[in-house]
Structure formats: structure tokens, C-alpha cells
A = this chain, B = another copy of it.
Amino acid sequence: RSDGSRLWSTIVETAAFGGTPAGGINRLTLSPEDGHVRDWFRDACAAAGLTVTVDALGTQYALRPGRDMSRKPIAFGSHLDTQPTGGKFDGVLGVLAGLEVIRSLNDAGIETEAPLLVVNWTNEEGSRFAPAMMASAAYAGDFTTDDILAKRDAAGITVADALDAIGYRGSEPVGAQAIGAFVELHIEQGPVLEAEGKTIGVVEGGQGIMWFDGVITGFESHAGTTPMPRRRDALLALSEFALAAETIALAHAPSAVATIGEAAILAPSRNVVPGRVAFTLDVRDPRATTLDAMESALRDAAADISGRRRLEIALTRIWRKEPVPFDPAIVAAIDAAAESLGHSRRRIISGAGHDACNLAAKVPAAMIFVPCKDGISHNESESATQADCAAGADVLLQTVLRLANA
């Protein structure tokens, strides 16, 4: 068993890096605050006897030797970056529970056959740089390292420059660190486990995700003198499109979701009809065919609105992550570990994207969920109990032992 109160104090301690007055965390990837929590994690891993390396995209790997060094390490972890209005558990729990697993094994003097590897993946959130989970995607071969290094945030700063700014552009090539299997503990970020009173979610896969960039180009004009029918108002077009996206998601209820998370008027002014609006669109469903249907319905809606309102709507899909099935053997190992610990559990599909979803393309991978309060995440009030976090860490520990000693 892991030490639940030691795990909890690391969650409290690291929440100070980017902590907000409302009790959340604002620790965008590769920000100074992200640099500080990375330094903390590096030092804590070194103090636990691990060898820490950093790859060319800033991902941190902390290795504990095994008896059989010819075996690839059993890896586990998550991410330490957060949303701008993020909580204290999303990603953080998985990394700190990984550290806790190592500390517990050290305390108990337990060696494993395979080596163990705790990982902190760069930019899981995707808030500052798109797409989300970009370092694990590069690890899995979905992008080249150079592709990712060249991505820019809203201020035009590249990933390369952001890594250099906090001293986390490592020397190890991306993908060079061997991984034999990957297990990720995470809060559910949804309402299912809590509603059903289950402690552990045995995650069988992740749903598909599409990200779009949109630009609506109408025409700026005077708010006082331009008759309503003559207007080419980019914000009204966005309004219709946002409501159409909601309707399209509801047409594929209950699974599908669609979200416009960013929307900005170019050169906004109280008495100017908005001429140009840029926005983002996030669309998800567990079935690839539903993603296809939603994309086509969204494009039809855009064409209808742009035709009626005499303006242009450009919709560019910048990312599509197919639905991911996790490895049945790892899923079974998690289930067995939860059962051996006597935790109530259920099979579940992840609504959020996770680094494990990228790893799954390259190595056997699966995930462990624990409940979070009211299913709330990506919010400063995100919350999980100490008991559930400890239960998740215990299941992680037992799963890792099964995999490493098999």
C-alpha cells in the first residue's frame, strides 16, 4: 500500500506553484510556474534515488532500476501542467502518485524485475499550444520533434523558445527512452464514478477528439448608422454557429460534445459592428463515424450561415485523435489490482484525452480513474478526496508490481 497522507501533502505542496486565490492552479505548460514544479519534481525524484532525464520536448523521465535491466521499464505518470483556471488534481495526481509508488517501494525495500519509470509529459493540456498531449504524441510518432518545436502560442512564442526559457529543452531524443507498458492514474473529470458510488474506474479506452480553428470574416461598420439588414456581423454569425454546434452535439446524445472555448473579436469597439472573429471548436465522441457525421453537419451549418449572412466562415481541422481502445491485458491487470484491494469499480471510457491514449499506439497502455467532486474539472474548484487519491495510488502500485514482476 502507498502512503495516502504523504501523497496528499505533495499535492498540497506543489499546488503552490501557480496557485490561484480561488484555490485552483494556473500553470500553463512551459510557463515559469511549470518550470518551478518541474524543478521540484526533479529534486524529489533524485532524492528518491531515481535517475532523471529530459527529452528534446521537455518530458521528464525518472528511472528506478529493476533486477532485469534487459527488460523495458514499466512506465506510469501523467502531467504537471494545468489549464489557466485549472484544478489541483488533473494530471498532478498521476505524476505525484507515481512518485509515491516509488517512495512506498523504497520504504518497503521492494525491488522489481523490470525497471520502473515515472513520467511527466510536456503540454498535456493543449491550452497554450495546440494540440493537447503533444509530447506523448511525438513520443508515439504522430508528429516529428521539429513539428512540435515550431508550434506557437497566442503570443507567437514557439515551443522551442518556451522550453529554452525555462531550461527544459533536454538532450535525449524524443522516443529514445524505452517504455514496456504505460499506466496512468487520473481523476475521472466526469460525473459517472461519483454518481454510482464507485471508487475505481477501469478505463477501457478514450473517445475521439477533433480540434478546429475558425475565422469569420464579415465587415466592420458603424453601430449607429448601419441598418440591421445591411450588416455583415461576424459575432452574430459566430452566435448562430455556436448554437448550431450545440444542436449537432445534442443530436448525437448522450455521448457527443461540442465546445467553442475561445472566441475573440479583432479590434473590438463598442460602436463598431464586429468585422472579424477568430474561434476554436472542440468536438468529441467515442465513435469515429459520429465524428465524421458531426464534422459534415458543422460544415453544412457554416455554409448555411455564411450564405445567409453574406460573410466567410473558414473552418480548419487542426487535429483529429481517433477513439483509442486500451490494452486488454493491462485493463485486466488494473481490474485484478482493484479487486485484490477490495475497491468498488466499473469499466469506463475516458471523455478527456490523456497521454495514455497516445502511448497506446506504441506500447500496451491503460488508465485508472478515481472520482472527482460533481464531475467538475478544468475549473479552480476541481476536487477529489484524500481517500480516493490514496485508493488510486494503491491500485497503481499493485498494477505496476503485477506488470513489472510478470
Contact = CB atoms under 8 A, between A and B. Distances in A.
A390 B262 CA distance: 46
B230 A191 contact: yes
Contacts of A155: none
B254 A264 contact: no
Interface in A16-64: none
- Chain A interface, >50% SS class: loop
Contacts of A280: 270
Contacts of A240: 239, 243
A188 B235 CA distance: 25
Contacts of A335: none
Interface stretch (A66-74, A271-279, A360-368): A271-279
A55 to B, nearest CB: 24
Contacts of A353: 224
A149 interface: no
Interface stretch (A124-132, A139-147, A175-183, A288-296): A124-132
Interface in A371-406: 375-380
Interface in A193-216: 207, 209, 211
Contact of A228 (B85, B253, B270): B253
A236 B238 CA distance: 10
A378 B227 contact: no
A298 B209 CA distance: 37
Interface string A226-250: 1111100101101110110010011
Interface string A251-288: 00110111111111101111111110000101010000
B219 A352 contact: no
B235 A269 contact: no
B260 A235 contact: yes
A272 B127 contact: yes
Interface string A334-354: 000000000000000001110
A225 B351 contact: yes
A150 interface: no
A189 interface: yes
Contacts of A268: 84, 261-264
Nearest to A276: B85
Contact of A84 (B126, B130, B269): B269
Contacts of A260: 235, 274
A223 interface: yes
Given A224-B352, A225-B375, A227-B257, 10 more contacts: A85-B269, A126-B270, A127-B272, A130-B270, A221-B377, A228-B253, A228-B256, A235-B263, A263-B274, A272-B378
Interface of A: 83-85, 125-127, 130, 132, 188-191, 207, 209, 211, 219-230, 233, 235-236, 238-240, 242-243, 246, 249-250, 253-254, 256-265, 267-275, 280, 282, 284, 351-353, 375-380
Going nearest first, the 9 A-B pairs with the smallest beta carbon separation are A225-B351, A239-B239, A190-B225, A223-B259, A262-B268, A127-B269, A222-B378, A84-B267, A222-B377
